[in-house]
Amino acid sequence: MAKRLVVCPVCSGDLSVSKVSCAACCLSIEGAFGTCRFCRAQPDHAAFIEMFLRHRGNMTSLAGELGVSFPTVARRLDAALDAVGLRGDAQPGAAEALQAQPPAENVRAMSDTARRAVLEMLDRGEISAEEATRRLREF
């Protein structure tokens, strides 16, 4: 099945859906239907959003799969959010949103595996309590 057009190929204006039909029973309905914000995403942004969701928002894990740095993943996420209209002046980006949360919420947002690794390092005496606190707040 071809991807639905959302931008006019002639003037680049927004296209609207005016007819939908059921392949099973051939029912057709005409009207003015809204479009999905994710339908507007370029294929690379849509694929990134899908991977991000599969990783349950864990950008460190996603960076590992993609073989890129955490800041690169953050930039790609910002670009994908821009592409689907989810990042405006009033909405902070992913990194800013985590930093704006209280420290206890930052700790909950980080993956259990990463949090456990920091706590194990603290338990073994490899890092100080201050360093562990700093690392937990970074996530």
Which pLDDT tens digit goes with each residue over 10-37? 888 877 778 888 889 989 888 877 767 7
Average pLDDT over residues 75-98: 67
The model's pTM is: 0.46
- Residue 5, Cβ density class (10 Å: 0-12 exposed, 13-18 middle, ≥19 buried): exposed
Instruction: Provide mean pLDDT across the span 100-119.
Output: 59
The amino acid at residue 29 is I
pLDDT value for 107:
42
Q: At 51, is the secondary structure helix, strand, or coil?
A: helix
For a pLDDT cut of 70, what percent of the chain falls above it?
Answer: 74
Q: Which helix (H) or strand (E) holds 43?
A: helix 43-54
d(CA 77, CA 57): 10
What residue spans define the domains of the chain? 101-139
Helix, strand, coil % (nearest 5) of the chain? Answer: 55, 10, 35
Q: What does the alpha-carbon distance between residue 118 and residue 1 come to, in Å, rounded to a whole number?
A: 47
User: Which residue's structure tokens are 């002046």?
Assistant: 89
Q: Select the highest-mean-pLDDT range: 25-29, 38-42, 127-131.
A: 25-29
Q: How far is CA 90 from the centre of its chain?
A: 17
> How many angstroms from the chain centroid is the CA of residue 131?
28
Between CA 121 and CA 34 the distance in angstroms is 51
Is pLDDT at 92 greater than 80 in this prediction?
no
Average pLDDT over residues 60-69: 87
